[in-house]
Amino acid sequence: MPLLRSAFAILCMGALATCAPPTAGCSGDYCGTVIFASIGEPETLLPPLVESSVARDVSDQVFLKLADLGPATNTIGDEGFTPMLAQRWEWRGRQELIFHLDPRARWQDGKPVTAGDVAFTFGAYTDAKVNSPFKSSLHWISSVTASDSLTAVFQFQRRYPEMFYDAVYHMRILPAHLLRDVPRAEWKSAAFGRAPVGDGPYRFVSWKAGETLELAADSTFFLGRPYIRRLIWRITPDLQVAVTGLVAGEDDAVEMLVSPDNIRRARAAPQLAIHPYKGATYGYLGFNLTARGNRKQPHPLFGDRDVRRALAMAVDRKRLVESLFGPYAQVPPGPMSQIWWIWSLDTRPLPFDTLEAARILTRRGWVDSNKDGIRDRHGQTLSFSLLVPTTSAVRRGYARLIQEQLRPLGVEVRIDEVDFSVFVQRAQAGEFDALLQTWNTDPTPSSGIAQTWTRAGIGSSNYGHYVNPAFDRLVAEASSTTSQAVARRDWRAAMEIINQDAPAIFLFATTNVAAVHRRIENVTLQPDSWWASLRTWRIPATRLIDRDRVAGGGGR
Partner 1 sequence: MIAWLVRRLAAALAIVFAVVTFTFFLMHLAPGQPLLPGAEAPVDPAIVAELRHQFGLDRPLFVQYGKYLTALAHGNFGESFALHRSVADALREAVPNTLVLTATALSIDLLLGFALGIYQATHARRMPDIGLGFVTLFLYSVPTFWLGLVVLLVFGEWLRWFPVGGMVDPALHYALPWIGRAGDRLWHLALPALTLGLVGAAGTARYQRAAMLEVLGQDFVRTARAKGLSERRVVLVHALRNALLSFITLAGLSLPFLLTGAVLVETVFAWPGMGRLAADAVFRRDYPVVMAVTIGASVMVVLGNLLADVLYHVADPRIRVSGG
| Interface stretch with partner 1, choices 189-197, 307-315, 350-358, 522-530 (CB under 8 A) | 189-197
The residues with which 212 forms a beta bridge, in sequence order, are 208, 234
| Interface stretch with partner 1, choices 36-44, 78-86, 368-376, 517-525 (CB under 8 A) | 36-44
Task: Return the residues of window 454-513 that contact partner 1 according to CB under 8 A.
Answer: 457, 459-461
- Is 217 a binding residue for partner 1 by CB under 8 A? The answer is no
Query: Of residues 167, 174, 247, 516, which one binds partner 1 by CB under 8 A?
Result: 247
Query: Of residues 30, 40, 291, 521, which one binds partner 1 by CB under 8 A?
Result: 40
Query: Of residues 234, 292, 317, 519, which one binds partner 1 by CB under 8 A?
Result: 234
Q: Which is nearer to partner 1, 311 or 509 (CB)?
A: 509
Task: Return the residues of window 346-405 that contact partner 1 according to CB under 8 A.
Answer: 391
Q: Amino acid identity of 111?
A: K
Please report how close the Cβ of residue 270 comes to partner 1 at its closest, in angstroms: 13
Under 8 Å between Cβ of 299 and 465: no
Q: What's the burial of 189, exposed, middle or buried (CB within 10 Å: 0-12/13-18/19+)?
A: exposed
Please report how close the Cβ of residue 493 comes to partner 1 at its closest, in angstroms: 23
- Is 49 a binding residue for partner 1 by CB under 8 A? The answer is yes
Query: Of residues 6, 82, 157, 189, which one binds partner 1 by CB under 8 A?
Result: 189
Please report how close the Cβ of residue 184 comes to partner 1 at its closest, in angstroms: 12
| Interface stretch with partner 1, choices 114-122, 360-368, 464-472, 548-556 (CB under 8 A) | 548-556
The residues with which 550 forms a beta bridge, in sequence order, are 25
- Is 551 a binding residue for partner 1 by CB under 8 A? The answer is yes
Query: Of residues 178, 367, 415, 424, which one binds partner 1 by CB under 8 A?
Result: 424
Q: Which is nearer to partner 1, 306 or 546 (CB)?
A: 546
> Which of 329, 291, 287, 307 shows the shortest CA–CA distance to 504?
287
Under 8 Å between Cβ of 11 and 518: no
d(CA 89, CA 153): 10
Query: Of residues 65, 170, 230, 278, which one binds partner 1 by CB under 8 A?
Result: 230
d(CA 330, CA 525): 19
- Is 554 a binding residue for partner 1 by CB under 8 A? The answer is yes
Q: Which is nearer to partner 1, 115 or 256 (CB)?
A: 256
Classify residue 349 by its DSSP letter: P
Please report how close the Cβ of residue 238 comes to partner 1 at its closest, in angstroms: 7
- Is 442 a binding residue for partner 1 by CB under 8 A? The answer is yes
Q: SS3 letters for 259-287? A: CHHHHHHHHHCCCEEEEEEEEEEEEEEEE
Helix, strand or coil, per DSSP, at residue 76: coil
Q: SS3 letters for 425-472? A: HHHHHCCCCEEEEEEECCCCHHHHHHHHHCHHHCCCCCCCCCCCHHHH
Complete DSSP assignment for 313-334: HHS-HHHHHHHHHTTSEE--SS
- Is 212 a binding residue for partner 1 by CB under 8 A? The answer is yes
Q: Which is nearer to partner 1, 163 or 246 (CB)?
A: 246
Please report how close the Cβ of residue 138 comes to partner 1 at its closest, in angstroms: 12
Please report how close the Cβ of residue 455 comes to partner 1 at its closest, in angstroms: 15
Q: Which is nearer to partner 1, 86 or 498 (CB)?
A: 498
Task: Return the residues of window 117-176 that contact partner 1 according to CB under 8 A.
Answer: 128, 131, 133, 135-136
| Interface stretch with partner 1, choices 68-76, 162-170, 254-262, 434-442 (CB under 8 A) | 434-442
Under 8 Å between Cβ of 151 and 115: yes
- Is 529 a binding residue for partner 1 by CB under 8 A? The answer is no
- CA distances 211 to 34, 214, 235, Å, are 15, 10, 5
Query: Of residues 29, 88, 94, 248, which one binds partner 1 by CB under 8 A?
Result: 248
Task: Return the residues of window 58-117 that contact partner 1 according to CB under 8 A.
Answer: none
To which H or E segment does residue 254 belong? strand 253-254
Q: SS3 letters for 115-182? A: HHHHHHHHHHHCCCCCCCCCHHHHCCEEEEEEEECCEEEEEECCCCCCHHHHHHHCCCCCCHHHHCCC
The residues with which 438 forms a beta bridge, in sequence order, are 283
- Is 556 a binding residue for partner 1 by CB under 8 A? The answer is yes
Under 8 Å between Cβ of 323 and 401: yes
- Is 338 a binding residue for partner 1 by CB under 8 A? The answer is no
Query: Of residues 79, 96, 238, 404, which one binds partner 1 by CB under 8 A?
Result: 238
d(CA 464, CA 286): 6
d(CA 319, CA 401): 10
Task: Return the residues of window 10-29 that contact partner 1 according to CB under 8 A.
Answer: 10-11, 13-18, 20, 22, 25
| Interface stretch with partner 1, choices 95-103, 158-166, 467-475, 542-550 (CB under 8 A) | 542-550
Task: Return the residues of window 252-271 that contact partner 1 according to CB under 8 A.
Answer: none
